Structure 1
Amino acid sequence: MGRFSSNGNPFLIERPEGGFTYFRNVPPRLKSVLSGEVKLPWSGARRSIGGRGTIKIALGTRDLQLARKRWLDVHPQVEGHVEAATLRTMQTARPIAVRAVSGLSPSEIEHIANRYYRQILSGDDDEVLRRDQLADRTELVLEEHEGLATDRDAVIAARRIAHTRELDVLRRALQEPERFDFEGSSRIPTLAALRAEGHSDESARAIRQSFEDVLAESEIGEVLADNGVSLPRDHIDRARLSLAIARAGVRAHEDVLRRLDGAPVETPPPLPVLMPPVMDAGPSLRDAHKSWIDQQSPSAKTAEEYGVYVERFISACGDIPIRSITKKHVLAYRDALSLFPRNIPSDLRSASVTAIQEWTAKNNAKLLARSTINDKAIGSISAILAVALKHDHIQTNPCLGTKFLLKEGEVVERLPYSDDDLKALVRSPVLAKGKRYKAGGGEAQKWLPLIAMYTGARLEEIGQLRVIDVLFASKPGDVSFFDMETIDDTPGQETRRKTRSSRRCVPIHKKLIDRGFAGYVEAQRKAGSVRLFPELSPYRGKITHGFSKWWGRYARKSVKDSRKTFHSFRHRVTDQFRNQVRPADGILQAILGHDKTDTTSGYGSGFDLETLNEALQRLDYGPEI
């Protein structure tokens, strides 16, 4: 095991002269590939790791409780770098996978426990025969007591202390086997403690999950994998195995201590693994990506973007079958991308992860935002694996719970346009003086912001409208509306929807009619135009790609705050409804195309157009806008 120090936290060492240090040995195979920085939140400093046989980070305190808190800041970062280095060393290996089994028989549990017992005694043999490669647990004790690896008596004393500690842990495990299977649980803050520190329920749960990802190094999970099998955490046979492993470990460490006292305890002969890992474990991530495209029919741009992240995952973790992908792979992939630049040069986009990281460090480039890694890098892999899960290619989605826990300031908050912003925009050259810019897509530069202001619709939803999607009332009492429900795959007039709930019909506000929208639509109809805004130029499957960039430049002249974008119209409509219209529950969701948030709202066929129209027409920004 070798993950416990005397105070219960792995790698947390109290120095003889006082004060605490995070001390960790680096396996020789990782020394040349381990690299990265560890941020120390309490001081703002950063520590580089890698290239040495140990990681030593002073925690700057003599207080154990404060040291444990700082350990929680340091350990997840170091763990991520170590996992990334470990996976880099595996990239050239043939892909293997453990087998998911439905249960373990008593004889199989006994077999695995006997292998565990034998491995501990065999490891002790290696330590005696190869004194230049002491076990991690022995080196940790030597560090604590400032002993030398060349001092035979000091090494024997360190081995005795190390095995005694392991023995104490295993004896506790006999009383709480479930804790043995989840060693980090005692060091994860409780929800109550996090709430007391001012965290919301959502934030507290996210924090606990982030710690689980790095602390829950399951001894039983490793033992199972070493025997070529896997079992769900809540399986009763896994609990039985935990108890058997704890008992085998107690016997083994007691026998090692007897050896140190001179007893001739023999190491049993080797035992085969329970089930050799299989070499062909189903589809690869590339296969899963192709299946996702077939099932979801994404735009060409989205499919290409997801493909880029698939290749980066493979570059970071190896081309392994999706059944072999674990949470640790995803965490390593996540942390590898945290060293990527915000903007990758075009000649490096197909380069390896390591090459891109090296370029980033050499050029001191601004790093990719962690929110982007969460939403795009992990989000794309998670979406692909979600389809694989649906088709029983995998049992769980390993991406769950792997996103960075974002701190205040890391989340790019989109703010709504204020009254002053809207006044500035409607008085700007395009809307007030009829000026048109080449990159603005013709009349789209006038109507897209106005439609967004009076519907709250997403930019791409508006941009992809066809002339036939705009239906005006033919007689009194009818409702004019945008058809944002129909999906069409016809080349040249494709319509796609972001989510199922985004398929909807949205009434046309009278302010748009007053500004001449009906006349514009009729002119497009007579001209034989398919698209309502034919001068928008599609790019990689997205109609408003160019317009979005143009609007960012144009609107920034009137609205300086970079947190305000075209999507700020949608935020403003949401606020306007809440504060002014105050519609019945669900009406705002229906107009905006948001997911239903409760069971009741999922019943029936939804609100009729008349009800939605009555609410929408009450949307009013005042006479100056």
Structure 2
Amino acid sequence: MWPRAKPPAPPRPSPAAAHGAGIVLPKPFLLKRASGLYARFLVPADLRSLLGCRFLVRAPPGRGDAARLVAARMAMALSESFKALRTGTMVNDDIKDILRRVRENGHQDLTIQQVRLPNGLTLGGVEINTAEDRRLFRQTVQDLNALAAKDPLMAGMHGWEPSQPPAPPKPPAGPRLSERIDVYLSDMRRAQRAVRNVMDTEYTLRLFVALGGDKPIEEVTATDVRAFLDALAVYPANASKKAVFRGLTPLEVVQKAKGGGHPTLLERTQEKRRDHLAAFFNAQADEALIPKAPHKAIMNRSKSKTDAPTREPFTPAELAALFDSEAFPEWASKYPHRWFGSILGVATGARINELAQLYVDDVAEVGGHWGIHIRAQRPDQRLKNAHSSRFVPLSDTVLQAGFLEFVEDVKRAGFERLFPHLQHTEAGGYGDTMGDQFRAYAIKRGLTGRLKSFHCFRHNIVSNLVNERGIAIQVVQEITGHDLTLPSGLRHYVNPGTIPKRFDALNAYGPPVTLPAYAPGQFDVAFKQVRHIERRRATAASKRHSTSQKG
């Protein structure tokens, strides 16, 4: 068989014919210059007067093949532009914009090797080069999804699955711990809870957040509570007052404390922290913010541990050391609250703040006996609880030590408060300074145990009256202000019928130390210093206020 002759090739169009058809492409000429690579295009002769130039020069992005590809795209765009210029459908200013867009878009070809659509269909070898390609690809995907939705049988035969509707949005997270803590503390203040109680609660809750993170309230679990209790077990006592922990975060304090060598919180203190946390979560459950308080799943510590006494009475030797005939007057003669504050403490067993907040008119004679009213009749006075309001008679020993003469000296000096040197704070009332000074003195006298503080006088009273003298519990409770085991209608801090029994009990008690005698006018110089101290405090407060306003 003879080979078939090839048909002759079609004749190439002449440049003029090609030019008239509008298919002649300006050929880019790539130039290398110091500033980079450039593409130069020759402007057709009939358009040079319109464009005002013989050549168009642009810098394509990239190098090598990428630059040549962009230059070719510029040539294609110029070819179409030249054709439009000749027909009058375009102005010469548009050419610059066209070349700019071509240059910025660069090489946009995209070939997708394989893509799995939401309906399960897999496509391969999809080439997307232009905006039109992208539009068609998007339309194809939408059509396939619509087909799968309208004809499930056909979709199943072809292995297509309709795209699943988007999952419903998650409900917004509930309030965070820090937000609910602020609300809870506000509720406590509105209920007029004791300032110390509010501050202790705030410290506990802020510590819980610092150790476990500020998460939504409903995400807190029993595991978080266990981690907090474990941290309390190693948390050092008075960490904020120790230089070794200064500047550390609570988490860093725990890590450092795990090395040992630091006194930890008392078990009762740890239980108080747990109680604060439990009350907070119980309130959140009552408000239906959480289904159940997370601490409920954790066993409480044995009562034999939690009910253990936190302090013990001073021993006879310790009382003798505190009221030494030389050491005590030397220490106590500086301030009246040291002198008679300590004497009233050992003689009545009253709490330190109950004594520190006394006013002159709280000293009175009731039922034929001089004593002190423990009450809260003024804004700066407060009681631990309702049972704390009471009248405590003073023993003959206290009166013989010159207490009433001291009261007259305070009146003569023009003070309403019995111990005017003490400054009031929201946290501790008037008792903080008095307690700190007494503790420092006790340590100096050799009482270095952690539990040896002013509060031990209270334990001396209860232990001596109940265990050694067999005084009726009711009488002791009327003296100390503990919860009376009586119907509520019979509980009253001034019951003249029982005052003689209170006096007899305290008079028999003593106290069992030799009290120094007070010399009238002994604190006249100290009383004159109060005015200076008050002016100094006012000046310091004014400076703090000015600094805060500037800040």
Which of residues 314, 329, 347 is equivalent to 1:417? 314
TM-score, with normalisation over the residues of structure 2?
Answer: 0.52
Structure 1 CA distance, aligned partners of 2:440 and 2:378?
32
Quote the Cα distance in structure 1 between the aligned partners of 2:460 and 2:333.
Answer: 25
Counterpart amino acid of residue 373 in structure 2 = D
* Aligned AA (2:471): P
The residue number in structure 1 matching 2:204 is: 309
2:363 is equivalent to residue 470 of structure 1: yes
Select the residue among 189, 213, 228 that pairs with 1:293.
189
C-alpha separation in 2, matches of 1:613 and 1:436: 31
Question: Conserved in 2, the CA contact under 8 Å of 1:451 and 1:457?
Answer: yes
| SS of equivalent residue, structure 1 residue 471 | strand
Q: Does 1:548 align with 2:470?
A: no
Distance 2:265 2:505 in 1: 39
Name 2:471's counterpart in structure 1: 583
**Cα 1:335–1:460 shift into 2, 3 Å:** same
Q: CA shift at 1:451, angstroms?
A: 1.0
**Which stretch shows the higher mean deviation, 372-381 or 332-341?**
372-381
Contact 2:174-2:217 at 8 Å conserved across structures? no
* Distance change (3 Å), C-alpha of 1:295 and 1:326: farther
Q: Which residue of 1 aligns with 2:480?
A: 592
- The aligned runs of 1:499-538 (5 Å cut-off) are 499-538=385-424
For residues 267-325 of structure 1, give each alpha carbon's deviation from its aligned partner in whole angstroms, at most 9, with x where no partner exists.
xxxxxxxxx877336961232123223323433x6544433322221123333455665
Task: Give the partner amino acid of 1:486.
Answer: A
Is 1:614 matched up with 2:508?
A: no
The alpha-carbon deviation at position 583 of structure 1 amounts to: 3.2
CA contact (8 A) 1:457 1:570 kept: yes
Residue 592 of structure 1 aligns with an amino acid whose one-letter code is T
Q: Which amino acid aligns with 1:315?
A: A
State the alpha-carbon separation in 2 of the partners of residues 337 and 394 from structure 1. 24
Letter in 1 for 2:435: S
Higher relative contact order at CA 8 Å, sep ≥6: structure 1 or structure 2? Answer: 1
- Residue 311 of structure 1 aligns to a residue in which SS? helix
How many residue pairs were aligned? Answer: 340
User: Which blocks of at least 5 consecutive residues in structure 1 are unaligned?
Assistant: 1-275
Structure 2 Cα separation of the partners of residues 593 and 618 of structure 1 = 15
Cα 1:377–1:435 shift into 2, 3 Å: closer
Counterpart-to-counterpart distance in 2, 1:370 and 1:472: 41
Alignment deviations for residues 46-77 of structure 1 (CA, whole Å, 9 cap, x no partner): xxxxxxxxxxxxxxxxxxxxxxxxxxxxxxxx
Q: 1:384 to 1:528 in 2, by over 3 A?
A: farther
Q: 1:279 matched to which residue of 2? A: 173
How far apart are residue 340 of structure 1 and its match?
Answer: 2.8
Contact 2:318–2:447, Cα closer than 8 Å, also in 1: no
Structure 1 pair 584–378 and aligned structure 2 pair: CA distance change class (3 A): same
CA distance in 1, matches of 2:283, 2:412: 44
Structure 1 residues 601 and 424: CA distance shift in structure 2, 3 A: farther
How far the C-alpha of 1:455 sits from its partner, in A, is 1.4
CA drift at 1:369: 2.4
Matched, 1:335 2:230: yes
Alignment check: 8 A CA contact 2:173 2:216 kept: no
* Alignment gaps of 5+ in structure 2: 1-169, 515-551
Q: Aligned pair 1:377/2:273, yes or no?
A: yes
Task: Using the TM superposition, give the Cα deviation of residue 517 of structure 1 relative to its aligned residue in structure 2, in angstroms.
Answer: 0.8
Amino acid at match of 1:532: L
Task: Give the drift of 1:374.
Answer: 1.8
Task: Give the corresponding residue for 1:456.
Answer: 349
Which of 305, 314, 319 is the aligned partner of 2:214? Answer: 319
Match of 2:153 in 1: none
Structure 1 residues 370, 588: closer, same or farther in 2, change over 3 A? closer
Asked if the contact 1:371–1:406 (Cα under 8 Å) also holds between the matched residues in 2, the reply is no
1:357 corresponds to which of 254, 258, 269: 254
Residues of 2 paired with 1:601 and 1:577: CA distance?
23
TM-score under structure 1 normalisation?
0.47
Cα 1:373–1:451 shift into 2, 3 Å: closer
The alpha-carbon distance between structure 1 residues 377 and 346, as it changes in their structure 2 partners (threshold 3 A), is farther
Structure 2 residue aligned with 1:485, among 357, 369, 375? 375
- Are 2:285 and 2:293, in contact at CA under 8 Å, matched by a contact in 1? yes
Q: Deviation digits for residues 165-223 of structure 1, max 9, x if unmatched? A: xxxxxxxxxxxxxxxxxxxxxxxxxxxxxxxxxxxxxxxxxxxxxxxxxxxxxxxxxxx
2:332 corresponding residue in structure 1: 436
Please list, as runs of the form range in 1=range in 2, the aligned pairs for 1:57-76 lying within 5 A after superposition.
none
2 CA distance for matches of 1:305 and 1:409? 18
Shift of 1:611: 0.8
C-alpha distance in 2 between matches for 1:609 and 1:541: 34
Change (3 A) 1:624 1:549: closer
Over 3 Å counting, the alpha-carbon distance change for 1:618 and 1:383 in structure 2 is same
Distance 1:338 1:451, change over 3 A: same
**Percent of aligned pairs with the same amino acid:** 22
Work out the CA distance in 1 between the residues paired with 2:220 and 2:306. Answer: 32
Q: CA deviation at 1:470?
A: 1.6
The aligned runs of 1:3-14 (5 Å cut-off) are none
| Partners of 2:233 and 2:265 within 8 A in 1 | yes
Does the 8 Å contact 2:233/2:270 carry over to 1?
Answer: no
Task: Output one character per residue of 1:465-484: Cα deviation in whole Å (capped at 9) or x when no partner.
Answer: 122222235xxx53433221
| Cα drift, residue 532 of structure 1 | 1.0
**Using the alignment, how far apart are the partners of 1:393 and 1:303 within structure 2?**
22
Task: Provide the C-alpha distance between the structure 2 equivalents of 1:388 and 1:289, rounded to a whole number of angstroms.
Answer: 12
Query: Amino acid of the residue matched to residue 478 of structure 1?
Result: G
Q: Indicate conservation of the 8 Å contact 1:481/1:508, yes or no.
A: yes
Answer yes or no: is the 8 Å Cα contact 1:327–1:402 preserved in 2: no
Do the aligned partners of 1:338 and 1:369 also contact (CA within 8 Å) in 2?
A: yes
- The superposition leaves residues 316-343 of structure 1 with CA deviations (integer Å, 9 ceiling, x where unpaired) of 3333455665544322221133343332
Assess if the C-alpha contact under 8 Å between 1:460 and 1:544 holds in 2: yes
Partner of 1:569: 457
Larger Rg: 2
CA 1:467 to 1:320, structure 2 compared with 1: closer, same or farther past 3 Å?
A: farther
Matched residue type, 1:334? L
Shift of 1:570: 0.6
What is the CA–CA distance in structure 2 between the aligned matches of 1:566 and 1:424, rounded to whole Å?
14
Deviation at 1:366, TM superposition (A): 1.6
Contact 2:235–2:257, Cα closer than 8 Å, also in 1: yes
Q: 1 CA distance for matches of 2:386 and 2:288?
A: 23
Q: State how far apart, in whole Å, the 1-side matches of 2:400 and 2:440 are.
A: 28
